[in-house]
Amino acid sequence: MNKIVTENAPKAIGPYSQGMVFENLVFSSGQIPVNPATGETEGTTIETQAAQSCKNVAAVLEAAGSSMERVIKTTCFLADMADFPVFNQIYETYFVSSPARSCVAVKTLPKNVLCEIEAIAYKE
């Protein structure tokens, strides 16, 4: 197993890695909408936060030698299921391969953000 480390995604804020590679599978940790350049939450709307979370997932996958087109499964967490339709609009522009997905509402997310996305992908 190999840890994924990239400056293009937020640093882990706890005792975990940005992701792990096992054989040809890539497992990203949940990515919240933190701008890796500033360390601050990006935006206050679900549109902006969903886009930043997707960009962070993409950066982790790229650092592992994979891509958004190779995502097999995602798990998405929303602070408010009322954001689901708008979240979907943003999500589908990044996850164009339509991977398997679970999406659940949660009580609270780290830093009180509106969404978090984790992914499993493959690499050649």
Catalytic positions, written as ranges:
103
Q: Is the Cβ–Cβ distance between 51 and 90 less than 8 Å?
A: yes
Centre a 10 Å sphere on the Cβ of residue 101 and count the other Cβ atoms it contains: 15
The whole-angstrom distance between residue 25's C-alpha and the CA centroid of its chain comes to 16
Contact partners, residue 82, CB within 8 Å, separation at least 6: none
What is the chain's Cα-based Rg? 13
Token look-up 């589908």 returns: 92
